[in-house]
Structures are given as structure tokens and as C-alpha cells.
Amino acid sequence: MNDWKETLESLRNESDSSKKIGILDRLKAYVAEDEVRKEVIKLLLNSDDRLVRIKATEVLEELNPAKEDAVEALMKSLLEDEDGFVRGFSAKALGKLGDVRAIDALKRALEDPDGFVKHYASEALKVLEMRARFLALIQKAKG
């Protein structure tokens, strides 16, 4: 059995949030694996512990290249999570992933009442808008 599969199984069976955070940290290197990513997304969207949700954003931002399900989950978290820190870290992760599909969600997050969220949404938006312009230039150059 792969090391990550054993680690993933221990994550699924763990009830202590602080231990889950440590296990999530060990799974960062394997987040591109579908099973790992899906479990991390599930924690991001459903965990009762905000620190677990924050750690999930940190794990998902390690994806290279970005995966659509992770981007969608981070956008949902950005716009719907009750905790400002989770929303802010979701914005940060979206900026790091560099997926231009997140631009509209980040623009909406600029209206968030929490300054932490606004800051990271603004920073991520700068990165993604620059990337979108760059991709448009490449497309134009190709004809």
C-alpha cells in the first residue's frame, strides 16, 4: 500500500482536529492524487473546525496544475464560509493556483466585510488579471 493511502486512511479515521491538521500537512505532497484531493475538499467544505478548513486551503494551493474541483471548492469557500480567515486563505490559495476562472469570485470577494478577505482577494485578483492579460496576448500572437 502506498504511504499516502495509509496516511489518507488515518485522516479519515481521525476525530481530533489538531491531529487532522498534522495529517493534512503530511498529505500536501500527494494532493494531486484524486483520492487525497477529494478528501481535502470534503474537509474544506464540511469540517466544523476552522483550523482544519484553513489547513485544507493550504494543501489545495500546492496543486500544480490547478484542478477544476479544487478551484470550485475554493471559490465556494471564499464566497460562503462563515469564517473570515477561511475565506481569506481561500482567496490566497486561488491566487497561488493561478486559475483565471476564479476572477469573478475574487471580484465578488472585494465586497466582503472582512478586511483580511478583501486584502487576499485583491492580491489574488492582481495575479489572475495579469495572467489573463498574458494569456490573451499569447492567443492574439498565435493568430
The string of pLDDT tens digits covering residues 75-112 is 999 999 999 999 999 999 999 999 999 999 999 999 99
What type of residue is 19? K
Tally of structural domains, the chain: 1
- Domain holding 14, by residue range, is 3-142
Q: Is the pLDDT of residue 66 over 90?
A: yes
pLDDT at 50: 97
Model pTM above 0.75: yes
CA atoms of 98 and 133, how far apart (whole Å): 12
- The pLDDT of 34-63, averaged and rounded, is 98
Which CATH number does the domain housing residue 47 bear? 1.25.10.10
Burial label, 98 (beta-carbon count in 10 A; 0-12, 13-18, 19+): middle
Half-sphere exposure of 130 (CA within 13 A, CB side): 9
Give the angle subtended at the CA of 48 by the CAs of 108 and 69, to the nearest 5°. 50
pLDDT at 135: 86
The string of pLDDT tens digits covering residues 114-123 is 999 999 999 9
